[in-house]
């Protein structure tokens, strides 16, 4: 650990002197969902399914994890209380990008080996390089409330399927904060994930095997108020990372939620999987939503690249200042050498990712771009 920290500081100095980015002459291009061809969309969906066919590598520590897809959900459940409303919330997406890239490599190999089961993948050249590299620009789907459920992301064939059947949750005592304008709540019944099994959750420490359907509970009302272009523009106007991050993470209430919260509760309402603070990565759309959050951070950085490439701050402790919604807590502000631990999602010799390694999506350990 000490050695790695020392090496990181040396690297940091070198990077600041302007020498050092790794070669990234041919970055993978991450595209918006509707910019993909139909076969690219199906390739992505198959990549997700591939992770759901792969055996879990963490099932020995997380009881309920049955497949590789579940390992992401389990790791998120295990870390939920430490990774939200902290300064490194956005840098985490870089590590997710690293692990997802690796997952797509594994699945590429799997598709090659298991041709009969995933035969179509063999014919899709994009599968190896493009899997996971997609995002959802929700601003395109919230001009009116009626637009939201019609998003191509929810297409029954070339998307993730639609809303769940309506459930009236008004009198449910176990919902701490109702999302106004909810329109669904039950299992999704269309699309390629209609029969998927969400294996863990809901809530904290929910690692035991609890197979359930995937639920959604669209709130077009919340989506139009949190995912629109002016909410994004307001974040992009932030003068420094400290303020930018506050505008992205928002508060914990309905009134103070911004676009991070919007992608969760706009899709998940009261009872959708993606609303669950802990088990939300059980919803495949989670990854497209977070890729867009990552894209907007990159966009903000490139408005003033020389200084924003190195601008990071915020507490190392969840719910500490300025996210002290529940009172003050001791904390330190993070810096570029802060180390994120991706636990079982990356191999043991690479699971520690310094923030400095993910400040530039075309440097350090990352090599992708957004179209």
Q: Which residues bind ligand NAG (CB under 6 A)?
A: 61, 78-79, 102, 106, 168, 170-172, 174, 194-195, 202, 224-225, 228, 230-231, 242, 313, 332-333, 343-344, 346-347, 350
Nearer to ligand NAG, 12 or 45 (CB): 45
Residue 241: count of CB within 10 angstroms of its CB = 21
Residue closest to ligand NAG when measured from CB atoms: 347
* Nearest CA among 101, 111, 99 for reference residue 42: 111
Q: Is 352 helix (H, G, I), strand (E, B) or coil?
A: strand
Shortest separation between residue 62's beta carbon and ligand NAG, angstroms: 7
SS3 179: coil
> C-beta of 36: minimal distance to ligand NAG in Å?
20
Instruction: Give least dist CB 224 to ligand NAG, A.
Output: 5
**55 or 115: CB nearest ligand NAG:** 55
| Alpha carbon separation from 214 to 200, 229, 237, 273, 274 (Å, rounded) | 11, 29, 36, 7, 9
Buried b (16+ CB within 10 A) or exposed e, 162-195: bbbeebebeeeeeeeeebebbbbbbbbeebbbee
Nearer to ligand NAG, 188 or 288 (CB): 188
- For ligand NAG, the closer of residues 112 and 371 by Cβ is 112
Q: Supply the minimum distance, in Å, between the C-beta of residue 370 and ligand NAG.
A: 22
> Which C-beta is closer to ligand NAG: that of 105 or that of 371?
105
Which of 61, 277 has the CB closer to ligand NAG? 61
Least distance in Å: CB of 223 to ligand NAG? Answer: 10
CB 344 within 8 A of CB 71: yes
Q: Please, what is the minimum distance in Å from the beta carbon of residue 61 to ligand NAG? A: 4
Check if the beta carbon of residue 311 is closer than 8 Å to that of residue 336. no
Measure the CA–CA gap between 186 and 266, rounded to whole angstroms: 15
């Amino acid at each position: 650990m000490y050695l790695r920290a020392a090496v990181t500081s040396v690297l940091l100095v070198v990077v600041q002197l302007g020498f050092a980015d790794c070669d990234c002459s041919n970055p993978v291009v991450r595209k918006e969902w509707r910019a993909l061809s139909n076969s690219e969309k199906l390739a992505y969906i198959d990549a997700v399914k591939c992770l759901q066919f792969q055996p879990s590598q963490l099932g020995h520590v997380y009881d309920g994890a049955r497949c590789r897809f579940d390992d992401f959900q389990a790791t998120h459940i295990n870390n939920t209380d430490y990774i939200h409303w902290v300064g490194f919330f956005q840098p985490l997406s870089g590590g997710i990008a690293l692990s997802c890239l690796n997952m797509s490599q594994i699945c590429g190999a799997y598709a090659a080996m298991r041709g009969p089961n995933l035969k179509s993948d063999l014919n899709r050249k994009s599968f190896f390089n493009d899997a996971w590299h997609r995002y959802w620009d929700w601003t395109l789907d919230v001009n009116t409330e009626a637009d939201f459920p019609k998003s191509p992301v929810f297409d029954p064939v070339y998307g993730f399927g639609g809303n769940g059947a309506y459930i009236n949750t008004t009198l449910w005592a176990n919902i701490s904060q109702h999302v106004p304008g909810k329109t669904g709540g039950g299992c999704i019944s269309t699309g390629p994930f209609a029969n998927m099994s969400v294996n863990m959750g809901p809530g904290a420490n929910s690692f035991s095997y609890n197979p359930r359907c995937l639920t959604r509970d669209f709130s077009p009302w919340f989506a139009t108020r949190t995912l629109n272009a002016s909410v994004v523009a307001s974040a992009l106007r932030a003068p420094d990372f400290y303020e930018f991050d506050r505008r992205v993470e928002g508060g914990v209430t309905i009134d103070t939620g911004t676009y991070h919260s919007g992608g969760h509760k706009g899709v998940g309402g009261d009872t959708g999987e993606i609303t669950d603070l802990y088990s939300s990565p059980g919803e495949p759309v989670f990854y497209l939503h977070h890729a867009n959050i990552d894209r907007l951070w990159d966009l903000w950085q490139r408005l003033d690249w020389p200084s924003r490439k190195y601008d990071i701050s915020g507490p190392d402790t969840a719910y500490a200042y300025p996210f002290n919604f529940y009172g003050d807590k001791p904390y330190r502000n993070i810096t570029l050498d802060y180390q994120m631990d991706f636990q079982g999602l990356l191999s043991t010799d690479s699971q520690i990712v310094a923030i400095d390694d993910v400040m530039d999506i075309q440097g350090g350990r990352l090599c992708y771009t957004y179209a």
